Chain A
Amino acid sequence: MGQIEIRDLSIEYKKPKSDETFVAVEKVSLSLRQGSFVTIVGSSGCGKSTLLLAIAGLIPYASGSIEVGGRKVSGPGRERAMVFQDASLLPWRTVHGNVRFGLELQRWKRDDIDERASRYVRMVGLGAFANYHPHQLSGGMRQRVNIARALAVDPDVLLMDEPFGALDAQTREVMGGELLRIWERDKKTAIFVTHAIDEAIMLGDEVVVMGRNPGHVRAVVRIDLPRPRTPEMLDSEAFLAYRRQLREYIAADLVALQMIEGVV
């Protein structure tokens, strides 16, 4: 089902207008348990979004393998659904129409499409806004639609690429709580990419720290905070310890990079 095995994964881009290739991700191996919530942090350019897009089947990889539920990933698939950053909603469709979108593309039955779309619109708390267009909604509401669209197709794995990256800090915290509430209902395997360390700890069972040049996994940190997570945990000793640890990993990566570039 939602078990994910990544072995020796390398992803390369061809640099535009030259024969050189740029290695975005090099020899990444990860094993993600079914039903776990895994967050990926790292400074920009560490390949965390690239890794996620590869798991989604949206970009090819040069070598290694990705298996979801025992099946090799070779393109997008129904068992995976993706929540994008802001602005991936169809502006001409209403909230309800946008949630229908994924179901339509996956050729669900007509009755199911309407029923599920309505259900998931309500589930993310937008029942009263079903007929609004995206530009009439706040950023947080738009991301609720984005999440509903992904959950409506009933995936085993939920992939999220900095879904709250465009939101202000307060909204971001509220949305994180909402996401956990929804996730805890049926515990789908979730991969959540972010550059916010607090968010990564607060949401994740495990935090994968990635480093740059080329993108690689520096560490995988288990987060042993009880669920459900509460905002009070942000001030707990354990939380602060995790934060310190993760910061050190990321800072070390930045220092290493500066030495390569000769800045220091």
Chain B
Amino acid sequence: MREAQLSAPALSAIGLRKRLAAFVDGYRDAGVSTLAVVAFLLLWEAAASWDWINIRYSSKPSAVWSAAIQVWRTDDFLLHAGVSFAAFASGFAMALAVGVPLGLYLGVSRRARLFLEPPLMALYTAPRLALLPILIVWLGIGLASKVAIVFLGAVFPILVNTLAGVRSSDNRLIVAARAFGATKTDIFLKILVPGCLPAILMGVRLGVGRGVLSVVVGEMFVSQAGIGYQIMTYGQGMRFDRLLVYAFAISLFGYALTVSVRMMENRFRNWRPAA
């Protein structure tokens, strides 16, 4: 509802006032969300301190906090983060490099769609982490397998959304472009690509989540270092406080990345009528 009002600033003065109101609203929303998190942490701390729950199986916020400080000081946290990040970044870059062009190509070529869509859709719905044992046999234990599993996780949301974006492009715009003598390249570059940019970004956002998940799970099985490896190690040692430190670190990373992509999406949404 608020979005609908925002997108139609008939007069700039009214637009400004509404934007200001939305800004204040935004802070209030953020305040409520923060309050919810704080309340949850307090409840958790209380529950653990007063023995409502067994601390051995669940840890508590204050213990996690001191574990975080220890991890930072003694645990080579940056090394593990670096290992994970390298695998994620390489796999995700490959997913972008393949997903976007292939999605665009499949979007414009009917023949390629007929040929490639069924196997791709089968892979898309398949649990790709289940392919991990095969990847290990092919690529060994180490970076290559992790990159491959991140790639497989992230490439499909990107590809599928790009494809859908191209397919849903408005035919009326293409006809209008043709009336002005547009070539096929013009139509591709000036209509199809900008038109499906929001869809591509949505694919990227979903791909981030899948990629982060993949790198952690991959490291639990095929790594000697990295966040996922640490999580596995501390899990087996029943060090849930430290396990949670790494789990929080990875969710923070995924969250930050998702939010930045969403901010990019919103930038491009300013030309769109509010949904």
Residues A102 and B180 in contact in the complex (CB < 8 Å), given A58-B175, A88-B175, A136-B7: yes
Which residue of the partner chain A has the closest CB to B191? A90
* Extra pairs beyond A56-B179, A57-B179, A136-B8 (7, CB < 8 Å): A88-B175, A88-B176, A90-B173, A101-B180, A105-B177, A105-B190, A106-B181
Whether B271 lies near A81 (C-beta < 8 A) is no
Please tell me if B73 contacts chain A, counting CB pairs below 8 Å. Answer: no
Residues A153 and B271 in contact in the complex (CB < 8 Å), given A88-B172, A90-B173, A135-B7: no
Please tell me if B272 contacts chain A, counting CB pairs below 8 Å. Answer: yes
The minimal Cβ–Cβ distance linking B260 to chain A, given in whole angstroms, is 21
Whether A58 lies near B179 (C-beta < 8 A) is yes
Question: A-contacting residues of B (Cβ < 8 Å)?
Answer: 7-9, 170, 172-173, 175-182, 186, 190-191, 194-195, 197, 268, 270-273
Please tell me if A121 contacts chain B, counting CB pairs below 8 Å. Answer: no
Whether B271 lies near A106 (C-beta < 8 A) is no
The minimal Cβ–Cβ distance linking A100 to chain B, given in whole angstroms, is 10
Q: List 15 A-B residue pairs with CB atoms under 8 Å apart, sorted by A's residue number.
A: A76-B179, A76-B181, A81-B179, A82-B179, A87-B170, A88-B173, A88-B175, A91-B273, A92-B194, A92-B268, A101-B177, A105-B180, A105-B190, A135-B271, A153-B180
The minimal Cβ–Cβ distance linking A133 to chain B, given in whole angstroms, is 4
Whether B175 lies near A92 (C-beta < 8 A) is no
CA distance A133 to B268 in the complex (A): 12
Main secondary structure of the interface of A (DSSP, over half): loop
Whether A81 lies near B180 (C-beta < 8 A) is yes
Of residues B175, B186, B195, B270, which shows the largest number of chain A Cβ atoms within 10 Å of its Cβ?
B175
Which chain B residues lie closer than 8 Å to A153 at the CB level?
Answer: 180
Question: B-contacting residues of A (Cβ < 8 Å)?
Answer: 56-58, 76-78, 80-82, 84, 87-88, 90-93, 101-102, 104-106, 133-136, 153
Whether B190 lies near A101 (C-beta < 8 A) is yes
CA distance A133 to B272 in the complex (A): 8
Which residue of the partner chain B has the closest CB to A94? B271
Sorted nearest first, the 4 A-B pairs with minimum C-beta distance are A135-B273, A102-B180, A105-B180, A88-B176
CA distance A84 to B173 in the complex (A): 10
Whether A133 lies near B176 (C-beta < 8 A) is no
Which residue of the partner chain A has the closest CB to B175? A58
Which chain A residues lie closer than 8 Å to B177 at the CB level?
Answer: 101, 105
The minimal Cβ–Cβ distance linking B16 to chain A, given in whole angstroms, is 14
Which chain B residues lie closer than 8 Å to A77 at the CB level?
Answer: 181
Residues A82 and B176 in contact in the complex (CB < 8 Å), given A92-B194, A133-B271: yes
CA distance A71 to B154 in the complex (A): 54
Whether A91 lies near B180 (C-beta < 8 A) is no
Q: Which of A58, A91, A93 contacts B178 (CB 8 A)?
A: A58
The minimal Cβ–Cβ distance linking B191 to chain A, given in whole angstroms, is 7
Whether A104 lies near B175 (C-beta < 8 A) is no
Which chain B residues lie closer than 8 Å to A81 at the CB level?
Answer: 179-180
Which residue of the partner chain B has the closest CB to A93? B271
CA distance A70 to B181 in the complex (A): 20
Which chain A residues lie closer than 8 Å to B195 at the CB level?
Answer: 92
Which chain B residues lie closer than 8 Å to A136 at the CB level?
Answer: 7-9
Whether A84 lies near B172 (C-beta < 8 A) is yes
Whether A91 lies near B181 (C-beta < 8 A) is no
Which chain A residues lie closer than 8 Å to B197 at the CB level?
Answer: 92
CA distance A104 to B187 in the complex (A): 12
The minimal Cβ–Cβ distance linking A192 to chain B, given in whole angstroms, is 16
Whether B180 lies near A84 (C-beta < 8 A) is no
Whether A76 lies near B9 (C-beta < 8 A) is no
The minimal Cβ–Cβ distance linking A264 to chain B, given in whole angstroms, is 37
CA distance A84 to B195 in the complex (A): 19
The minimal Cβ–Cβ distance linking B264 to chain A, given in whole angstroms, is 14
CA distance A81 to B178 in the complex (A): 11
CA distance A78 to B181 in the complex (A): 7
The minimal Cβ–Cβ distance linking B175 to chain A, given in whole angstroms, is 6
The minimal Cβ–Cβ distance linking A38 to chain B, given in whole angstroms, is 19
Which chain B residues lie closer than 8 Å to A87 at the CB level?
Answer: 170, 172
